[in-house]
Amino acid sequence: MSLFARPRDFESSVREELPVLYRVARRMGCTAEEAEDLVQTALIKAYQAWTRFDGRHLRSWLVRILRNERLMSLRGAKVTASLDAPEATEVAEPPFWDHLAVRLDADKLIAELDRLPDIYRDTVQLCDVEQMSYEEAAEAMDVPVGTVRSRLFRARALLRDRLGAVVAPAQEATS
């Protein structure tokens, strides 16, 4: 039997993850009401599977359930093409968000994040906003760690291009 088998343990364990789940649902394009419904549905699924949960990476496990529920709700609404290429890798560089934070209007950043394709936006949400490790994000999205790295690299490149006028001075200062 799992370490977290009792219903009381489920409630106390997932309580602190509720804000994260709600934020992730909103970043997946849900309205406030849809996000609440999606989180509720994901929690019901998680509760039903609680005795099978191994106790590792609770947040990733819950986000994966949430993501799967969102994808099921969107199934048929649109076709998503894979934009990932396995050969792409992340290049070490100065922290991406450090030089943007000072120079960028939050509304503009949020607008540009919203314009990203779903797979990139979700990756940025999990890794950069929710501070999940690549491994946790990979588990949550049910993809290899390399895919998380390449998606994050591409998402940051897209943001860098779109916000180029804002990012360029910071890059020149480090040259």
> Where residue 12 sits, what CATH number does that domain have?
1.10.1740.10
Please tell me what DSSP assigns to residue 127. I
Query: 57 in the Ramachandran plot: left (φ > 0), alpha (ψ -120 to 50) or beta?
Result: left
Average pLDDT, the chain: 76
Domain count, the chain: 2
Residue 165 and residue 127 share a domain: yes
- Which pTM value belongs to this model? 0.53
Domain boundary pick from 74, 104, 122? 74
Residue 67 and residue 11 share a domain: yes
Structure confidence by residue, pLDDT tens digits, 95-125 = 555 555 545 566 777 788 888 898 898 898 8
Specify the pLDDT at position 5: 47
Domain that holds residue 15: 7-74
Q: Are 47 and 11 in contact (CB under 8 A)?
A: no
Tokens linked to 108 = 């503009």
- Between 98 and 136, the higher pLDDT residue: 136
Specify the pLDDT at position 6: 55
Residue 55 within any structural domain of the chain: yes
Residue 110 within any structural domain of the chain: yes
